[in-house]
Amino acid sequence: MAAVSQVLKRSFSSSSPMAGAIKNVTVIGGGLMGSGIAQIAAAAGQKVVLVETNEKLLQGANSRINESLKRVAKKQFKENPSAGESFVQETMGRISGTTNPSEGAASADLIVEAIVENMGIKQKLFATLDEAAPKHTIFASNTSSLSITEIASQCQRKDKFGGLHFFNPVPVMKLLEVVRTNDTSDETYKKMMEWGQEVGKTCITCKDTPGFVVNRLLVPQLAEAIRMLERGDASPRDIDTAMKLGAGHPMGPFELADYVGHDTTKFIIDGWHEKMPENPLFKPSELLNKMVKEGKLGVKSGEGFYSYKKK
């Protein structure tokens, strides 16, 4: 990963006008989602600065991106492996890393945040970035479930703030939800839509409502699948088979829940239940709570509804 100072050597003006395409992207958080977002932006020819909390995590993100790019190259350059290698190297060469968010923000046209799903931590981060980033920089959150308006509340630039909600795995999933708050300007919205298309996604427009479109439908479906299991209606395997073969889903609800992580799903259900206690769709599940308490978080912990432990 190139040093961030190399990237910062590019000339930029802290008062650049809004006009002009997004060329410099900063991604905050290099976990599952952030590394994917950094990857597709770099693959689309943009300069990317990735921000993590320490060097080890930056290296981890770097390896994840490298591995994923190799999978993409294997497919896209089937007939020409050396062109595939160049594609991987050139894409990696457009990504630099830093552990300092303010430094990372200094040359950004767009900042996409993909850190832990916690309102206070996201608000604090954006307040810092608001001080450090050029005036023209657009801020976006990849939150799964939180209000974009609330995340933006500590920032001055509410007109340049929106949601860019990607799907896991980012390099494969074709959708991008572009979220407008009541404060997002037409120009910011337009730039977010254009950028989404540039990084190869099909964009839809969403209002700043809980779960936007996909998660508002997906989370209740998962919660109902868990209630079916709790009632003893059918096994996870049979429910998954049913939804794959009967409804054409690539994964059944239990496979998908294991893939996403039960801590994330519990966090979403609990948060929405707190906001909408009268809505039975978001009633917390005892089974989910128990699994999270026992550390059965899905694929990432080696056990969820299924076992992923290496035999």
Ligand X SMILES: NC(=O)C1=CN([C@@H]2O[C@H](COP(=O)(O)OP(=O)(O)OC[C@H]3O[C@@H](n4cnc5c(N)ncnc54)[C@H](O)[C@@H]3O)[C@@H](O)[C@H]2O)C=CC1
Q: Which stretch binds ligand X (CB under 6 A): 3-11, 49-57, 149-157, 202-210?
A: 49-57
Residue nearest to ligand ZOZ (CB): 144
250 lines the binding site for ligand ZOZ (CB under 6 A): yes
The residue with tokens 């989370």 is 219
The set of residues, in sequence order, having a beta carbon less than 8 Å from that of 257 and lying 6+ positions away, is 222, 225, 226, 265, 298, 304, 305
Closer by beta carbon to ligand X, 84 or else 104: 104
Q: What Rg, from alpha-carbon coordinates, does the chain have?
A: 20
Q: By the 8 A CB rule, do 305 and 236 touch?
A: yes
Taking each helix axis as running N to C, give the angle between helix 286-293 and helix 262-275, from 0 to 180 degrees, rounded to the nearest 10: 130
Which is nearest to 87 in space by CA: 103, 74, 99, 97?
74
Question: CB count, 10 Å around CB of 309?
Answer: 7
- The answer to whether 294 is a known catalytic residue is no
Is 14 catalytic? The answer is no
Judged by CB under 6 A, the chain residues 78 through 137 that form the site for ligand X are: 101, 114-117, 125
Listed ranges 24-32, 80-88, 152-160, 271-279: which one lies at the site for ligand X (CB under 6 A): 24-32
* Least distance CB 265 / ligand ZOZ (angstroms): 5
Instruction: Please provide the size of the chain in residues.
Output: 311
Per partner kind, with CB cut-offs from 5 to 8 A, the member of ligand X, ligand ZOZ, none near residue 218 is ligand ZOZ
Asked if 173 is part of the footprint of ligand ZOZ (rule: CB under 6 A), the reply reads: yes
Site for ligand ZOZ in 116-155 (CB under 6 A): 144
- Residues 269 and 288: beta-carbon distance below 8 Å: yes
Q: Which residues are annotated as a binding site for CoA?
A: 68, 75, 144
Q: Which residues are annotated as a binding site?
A: 68, 75, 144
Catalytic residue list = 144, 165, 177, 215
